[in-house]
Amino acid sequence: MSFFRSLPKAHDHRRGQRSTGKQRALPSGSAASSSLQRLHYRCCCNRPPVDLKGFLKTSHSDTKLENLKKRKDELEEEIGGYMSLDAYTEQLCKEDEAYRTTERMQREREEELQKREEVKRLREEYVRLQDKKAELHRQVERDAVYQKYMERAVKMTKFKDVPQLISNFERLLRFEELHQRDAESAQKVEENKRTVAALKDQHNLVWLQRNNEMYPLPAELAKERSKSVTWERRWAHIKQTAAKKTLLMGQIKMAAFNLYDMRSGAEDGEEAVDMCDTETQLEEVQNLPVLLGPPSTGPGAPSSYPPCLLTSR
């Protein structure tokens, strides 16, 4: 029994050795414990002894092989995944490198074009500056004659050196410029005077022309005024005549109304006529002399009828 009691300790000791070796956990520990239980059961049943060390070693090696195979398969799967991921990453790196290379080439091409344009511009600028330099050199050669002339003039005059002579020339040039300005100002003043005289002559001419045009206007105004007086008189006569005609018309209307009133008094029961309807009133009073009787026709006898009735009769 002491042997069997020491078996778990040996197993634990081996397991401790395995754990301190590479720190790998074996997932098949339950199978080893079950085999130990079966072995313990056989020993308890007074069965013949067996080689426990060989059995444990064999079972442990089988379990380890299975675990190693599973671990190998898992590692192969992981390696396959890592290889596929590595291939994808490598492809991405290649594409990125190609894109960067394309961009770098494009940038280098643009920089090269810019450099070519800059070189072309600098060459043109260099040619222009060379031409300008040559022109300035020719101008210096042309002006060297004046320098020699100025030096000779200094020797023949009272001036000590060329700068004094140049300052004198500059002063004379300023005086000449001022004199030219004064001459131009005087010329402008003379031109303005001539312009003013021409404007005055034109103004006098226009004034005379307007006076000539206005000379017959007073006579025409007096003539038109006399015409207006004549027409005013005619208009006053027309108004007076119209007033007289209006008064006469009113008298005639009143006489006709009176006659109509007399007839309506003689003939009662007839329908009345409007007061302003003079024509109807005159038609109604045409038979009034018959109702009143014949008028007296003796000499000196006054007429009892109105002139209109006598004329109509």
In the chain, where the domains are located: 174-215
pLDDT of 28 higher than 60: no
- Output 256 or 127, whichever has higher pLDDT: 127
Highest mean pLDDT, choosing among 28-32, 108-112, 166-170, 291-295 = 108-112
Which residue in 76, 86, 80, 74 sits closest to 27, CA to CA? Answer: 74
Lowest mean pLDDT among 209-218, 257-266, 298-307: 298-307
Which residues lie below 8 Å from residue 150, measured CB to CB, with a gap of 6+? 162, 165, 166
Quote the radius of gyration of the chain (alpha carbons, Å). Answer: 77
pLDDT band at residue 298 under the 50/70/90 scheme: very low
pTM for the full model? 0.28
For range 93-121, the mean pLDDT: 90
How many CB atoms sit inside 10 A of residue 256's CB? 21
> Residues 229-257: pLDDT tens digits?
999 999 999 999 999 999 999 998 888 88
* Rounded CA separation 35/54 (Å): 13
The pLDDT of residue 22 is 40
The pLDDT of residue 60 is 67
* Rounded CA separation 292/309 (Å): 12
The pLDDT of residue 120 is 93
* Rounded CA separation 312/28 (Å): 167
State the virtual CA torsion across 58, 59, 63, 68 in degrees, nearest 10. -10
pLDDT band at residue 270 under the 50/70/90 scheme: low
pLDDT band at residue 294 under the 50/70/90 scheme: low
Which residues lie below 8 Å from residue 266, measured CB to CB, with a gap of 6+? 288, 291
Structure tokens of 170? 């500059």
* Rounded CA separation 256/269 (Å): 20
